[in-house]
Structure 1
Amino acid sequence: MSGSLWLKRPATETPLPKIPRPRRETAPTGAAGTTSREPGPDAAPPAAVLADAPLADDPLDELAERIGAFVAVAVHPDEIAAILESDGMTDDHIRLTYGRADSFELAEDLYARVERRHPAPEAPPADAWHTGLAGCLLRGLVFALPGLAYVLAAPLLAGEQGRFGLPGGTVPLLAGAVTGWVWNQALSHRAYTWLGLGDRAAAARTLLIGAPAGALAGTAVALAAAAPGEIPAALFAAGQSVYLAAATVLLVLGRERALLCALVPLAGAVPAFRWDLPDLLRAGLLLAALTASVTFAGLVLRPGARRGAAGRGGPPRAASLPYGLFGLGSGLLVLHAGVGDTLVGGAGAVIALTLSMGPAEWLLHRFRGESLARLRTLATAREFRRAVTGTLVLCLGGYLTVLVSLTLAVNVAWPGAPWPALPRLVTLLLIGTVLWLGLLLQAFGAVLSAAAVCLLAAAAEVAAPAAGPVAAGGAAAVLAVLACVLLVRPTAHRV
């Protein structure tokens, strides 16, 4: 909550208040009715005058009474100083009015003068920070189910040996996927910003324009990256781009169940693990899932098609760019986990990472909710730092435990999948740490730092695949330090 909500400027400009001073009394009249001579400017007033003069009110008392409700729940004077500065109080104003050197000295006096009155913890409200585990698991499931499309399409995409030592058709598939991740991450941020402003129609309008543009961009990049013998893979990448656009619409607008229903035809890939299905059936299942996804997305975008749905200018588009860069960095890390078989175990690692995004999202909400609860109940900044650090360690440890469990489960369920060696498992955990900490920093607005670290780690892995564990470990260490420095501050959790 911004400080202007607590200390609002007056509607009209008023001069700075003056420091009250004792009044000078008129000298008593003499016996002949004439007044006695007034003392000179350097003469001291009589003692009786000083004794009877009313004491000036301390302006700090009035300020403490005016913002006492906020001061009483602050856990550090810096919180109070931030509010004073955001309200426009300059150091000159503070010196003239309150006799303090600056906002920090004034904040310390207010912090010492007002008694701490932290309210009792309330029941968790029904907001975004108290989401249910079932909803997050559902999102993780719909993140992972599209992977079955690759199982269905594998015989259709089989061809000659591809470039860079990869199977045929891999390059256009990866190019289209990365383009879709970058575009849709930025688009999601802009749409979520509209939703945060309470304008759902404008969010739908943004998705109505941006989602088809993203699908066209992914298709164009995939076709441009395709070699002459990779046209089937490029067409599949075009369908993949259309699906990513439709899935973005449904996930942003909270239609996870509709997306799950649209992906039901992909369950036909389960028999394909044991039997060879006809090509016509494979193509039909893929087209059915794609058509259902686009249809559901079109239905939920109807409010955005209304005239004037996005009449305001909206948030700046440049603010969404760091989120696209974070999508690029994290996407390259996940792709490296799948392509670099010698490092982390190939497709099984990608499936485990994708499925873990559901529990990861729930743990992010859990951390935010627990931090806000500690902010209401703890009285000192030191206690808050210790509590938040402990919560961060527990949530990150819980996510890594889930990731290990999913990795082992995938290896059990996947026919003929090798058990991951310890170095590969450690590398997978480091990549998971980078992803979770990056998402955490993104949730607190430090998305540019998270994107820069992820991009550097991904670039290092692409340039020198053998240095992948070192790059992932360095990125995880940097993000851990950034998280500890940022999130132990009480002001980072004020909403």
Structure 2
Amino acid sequence: MSGSLWIGRDEGQDTLPFIPRQRLPRLPEDDPLTELATRLEDLIAAAVHPDEIAAVIESDGMTDDLISAVYGHPDSFSLAEELYGRVERRYPAAAAPPAEPWHAHLAGCLLRGLVFALPGLAYVLGAPLLAGHRTTLGLPDGTIPLIAGAVTGWVWNQSLSHRAHSWLSLADRPAAVRALRRGAPLGAALGALAAVAVAGPGELGAAAFAAGQSGYLAAATVLLVLGRERALFCALLPMTLGAVPGLPAAAGPVLLLVSLAAAVTLAVRALRGPAAGDRARGAVSPRLTSSLPYGLFGLGAGVLVLYAALGDVFRHGSAGSVAGPSAIALTLSMGPAEWLLYRFRAQSLAALRTTSRARGFRRSVAATVTGCLGAYLVILAALAALGTLLWPAAPALGGPRLAALLLIGAVLWTGLLLQSFGAAPGAALVCCAAAVAQTLALAQGAPPSTEVVVSGTAAALLAALVCVVLGRATAHRP
């Protein structure tokens, strides 16, 4: 066999060819071989066999005639052996593992939990605007306008947030900004109009408070969608002065106006600047109807949270109790809840890489859901217990109240989990049905234990939906 040296050529003995590795003396710098070795140095250094180099040489269109005329070798294999011997082996370092696509910093999620909970102080600072006697429904004056404005804002801003995030997922930030520019002021106006429409005689102060609440919800939506959590947190800091002992009652509304003005100003600044951009021809536009389930989920979840808070209202005498320990615990827990959602996504992807059977993957997902949900409920229970200790004259955290709170928390977390996998319609349907059932039960004077039954049923339905949707490996595609 030409071009190779054989070792052990005894008859009947299987042997392997040996390719010489003799290092040839370096040629002058203007030698074509030197220039070629320099040009292909990285590729040659990483090659494990001359044939790899020969393949590259041939792919460059070098014929045997050209190789013979320019480099003095009969073919590409001979030239490759020459180049292989000229350059020392230098293999690249192993590639780093891919970045975790669902990594989230706990500090950032906790910050979001704070900006969700701090607005609860507004109900304490605005108590002079909400004071009054109980109405025929058993609720303090001003509660109905507050609820109407809040619910309208939740529905609108949840849908707007999804719409803007859909544009951001398509790498079209100008379109997201345009959506927020149009949608945020309209949402604030709708919330204020809803509050004014249901306000009764003597509830002008509550209607004004609800209008400010609608403006804040619109500004907060803009800042949260655009990743300005720190700015929103700074805007809310003036309200923390409401916890200072001996603060005059008149200072509360002033602090509210300062925080509202700061939030609106920061939102306007975030939306300022050019928002025009040419979209690629044929680019996909998110459908308006795709945001509707997210708004309906916000409606159902918001009503359930309100009913958890109204359990405190019935034990107190003012609408300011809407921000009681139950509501504060639920809103503050949204930070850890968000972080646990990211942890579930990360762990489910890890299970997808390490399990080879569908049954094993389903077991892994079920264990991950159970662990994350259990951790969230422990955090929620701890926050509720702490809030009960610190909140003035808060109702005792008894068995039925704690059970209802934890079941509502389970509904919220599993609903958010389904939303993150695109199963928002199912989550919205269950949450809205639970909200309607609880409303009818409240209107008919049902006992408080009905809340446990309604929330428990909704939690069970969402858990079953989680098993159906997330038990499939195809649902976990990055």
Q: TM bucket by the smaller chain?
A: 0.7 to 0.9
Question: Could you say what secondary structure the match of 1:125 adopts?
Answer: coil
Instruction: Report deviation, 1:313.
Output: 7.6
User: Does 456-465 or 469-478 show the bigger shift?
Assistant: 456-465
2:305 counterpart letter in structure 1: V
1:125 matched to 2:99: yes
1:460 CA drift (Å) = 1.0
Task: Kindly indicate whether residue 155 of structure 2 is the aligned counterpart of residue 182 of structure 1.
Answer: yes
Paired with 1:216 and 1:163, the residues of 2 have a C-alpha distance of: 28
* Residue 349 of structure 1: aligned partner: 326
**TM-superposed deviation, 1:418:** 3.2
Q: How far does residue 343 in structure 1 lie from its aligned partner after superposition?
A: 9.3
**Mapping of 1:269-288 within 5 angstroms?**
269-271=242-244, 274-275=245-246, 277-279=248-250, 281-288=251-258
Q: Which amino acid aligns with 2:304?
A: L
Residue in structure 2 matched with residue 334 of structure 1 by the alignment = 305
> Are 2:264 and 1:297 equivalent residues in the alignment?
no
Alpha carbons of structure 1 residues 124 and 392: separation in structure 2 relative to 1, 3 Å? farther
**Residues 387 and 126 (structure 1 numbering): CA distance in 2 closer, same or farther, change over 3 Å?**
closer
In the alignment, the residues of structure 2 paired with residue 247 and residue 334 of structure 1 have an alpha-carbon distance, to the nearest angstrom, of: 19
Which of residues 189, 193, 201 in structure 2 aligns to 1:228?
201
Q: How far off its partner does 1:381 sit?
A: 1.3
Q: Tell me the secondary structure at the aligned position of residue 222 of structure 2.
A: helix
Once the two structures are TM-superposed, the CA of residue 412 in structure 1 deviates from its matched residue by 1.7
Distance in 1 between residues matched to 2:96 and 2:346, nearest whole Å: 12
Residue 488 of structure 1 corresponds to 471
C-alpha contact 1:121 1:377 (8 A) present in aligned 2: no
1:245 to 209, 218, 223: 218
Secondary structure of 2:203's partner?
Answer: helix
> Given that residues 340 and 372 in structure 2 are in contact (C-alpha distance below 8 angstroms), is that contact kept between their aligned partners in structure 1?
yes
Q: CA deviation at 1:394?
A: 0.2
CA gap of 1:457–1:122, structure 2 versus 1, over 3 A, is farther
Q: Measure how far apart 1:123 and its partner are.
A: 4.4
Task: Give the superposition deviation at 1:386.
Answer: 1.2
Long gaps (5+) in structure 2: 1-93
Q: CA deviation at 1:185?
A: 0.3
Alpha-carbon distance change, 309 to 169 in structure 1, aligned in 2, over 3 angstroms? farther
Work out the CA distance in 1 between the residues paired with 2:309 and 2:181.
32
Measure, in 2, the Cα distance between the counterparts of 1:407 and 1:358. 15
Deviates more, 1:220-229 or 1:462-471: 462-471
Query: What per-residue deviation string (whole Å, max 9, x for no partner) do you get for residues 101-158 of structure 1?
Result: xxxxxxxxxxxxxxxxxxx99746254x211111000000000000111111102322
Residue 322 of structure 1, CA deviation: 0.6
Letter in 2 for 1:292: A
Does residue 321 of structure 1 match 2:292? yes
* Structure 2 residue 137 is the aligned partner of structure 1 residue 164: yes
Q: Percent identity?
A: 58
- The answer to whether residue 348 in structure 2 is matched with residue 371 in structure 1 is yes
- Residue 74 of structure 1: aligned partner: none
Q: Tell me how far apart the structure 2 counterparts of residues 264 and 123 of structure 1 sit (CA, whole Å).
A: 41
Distance 1:223 1:122, change over 3 A: farther
Relative to structure 2, which stretch is displaced further, 163-172 or 412-421?
412-421
Conserved? CA contact 1:343–1:424, under 8 Å: no
1:387 equivalent in alignment to 2:367:
no
1:285 corresponds to which letter in structure 2?
L
2: distance between equivalents of 1:126 and 1:391?
Answer: 17
Equivalent position SS for 1:228: coil
TM-score with structure 2 setting the length? 0.74
**Residues 265 and 285 of structure 1 are in contact (CA less than 8 Å); yes or no, is this contact kept in structure 2?**
yes
- Provide the residue aligned with 2:189 in structure 1: 216
CA-CA distance at 1:163 after TM superposition: 4.5
The Cα shift of 1:342 comes to 8.6
CA distance in 1, matches of 2:341, 2:107: 14
Residue 136, structure 1, aligned to residue 106, structure 2: no
Q: CA deviation at 1:228?
A: 1.8
- Max radius of gyration: which structure? 2
Q: Give the deviation of 1:283 after TM superposition.
A: 2.1
Residue 8 of structure 1 corresponds to none
CA contact (8 A) 1:172 1:226 kept: yes
TM-superposed deviation, 1:200: 1.1
Alignment of 1:453 onto 2:430 = yes
RMSD: 2.1
Compute the displacement of 1:270 (Å). 0.2
Q: Check 1:123–1:458 CA distance in 2 against 1; reply closer, same or farther (3 A cut).
A: farther
Q: Tell me the SS of whatever aligns to 1:145.
A: helix
User: Would the aligned equivalents of 2:410 and 2:459 in 1 still touch at CA under 8 Å?
Assistant: yes
Report the secondary structure of 2:285's partner residue.
coil
How far apart, in 1, do the equivalents of 2:116 and 2:313 lie?
25
Report SS of the residue matched to 2:135: coil
Q: Check whether the contact 2:177–2:275 (CA below 8 A) recurs between aligned residues.
A: no
**2:39 paired residue number:** none
Alpha carbons 1:353, 1:403 under 8 Å: kept:
yes
8 Å CA contact 1:411, 1:417 repeated in 2: yes
Alpha-carbon distance in 2 for matches of 1:424, 1:172: 26
Query: Given residue 287 of structure 1, which amino acid in structure 2 is its aligned partner?
Result: L
1:37-186 aligned at under 5 Å gives the runs 123=97, 125=99, 127=101, 129-186=102-159
Question: Residue type of the partner of 1:396?
Answer: L
TM-score, length-scaled by structure 1: 0.72
**Contact persistence 1:172–1:222 (CA under 8 A):** yes
CA offsets 1:449-484 (integer angstroms, 9 cap, x no match): 101100111111111133211111110111101101
Quote the residue 1:473 is aligned against. 456
Letter paired with 2:258: A
Q: Find the aligned partners of 2:313 and 2:270 in 1 and give their Cα distance.
A: 43
Deviation at 1:302, TM superposition (A): 1.8
The one-letter amino acid of 1:316's match is R
Aligned partner letter, 2:477: R
Match of 1:66 in 2: none
Q: Which amino acid aligns with 1:306?
A: A
Could you tell me how far apart the structure 2 residues matched to 1:309 and 1:146 are? 38
Distance, in Å, in 2 between the alignment partners of 1:474 and 1:121 is: 49
Classify 1:154/1:310 alpha carbon distance in 2 versus 1 (closer, same or farther; 3 Å): farther
Q: Which residue does the alignment assign to 2:45?
A: none
Runs of 4+ in 1 over 6 A off after TM superposition: 309-313, 342-346
Cα distance, 1:457–1:341 mapped onto 2, change above 3 Å = same
- Alpha-carbon distance between aligned partners in 2 of 1:343 and 1:358, rounded to the nearest angstrom: 28
Partner of 1:405: 382
Deviation at 1:247, TM superposition (A): 0.1
Tell me the CA shift for residue 301 of structure 1.
Answer: 0.7
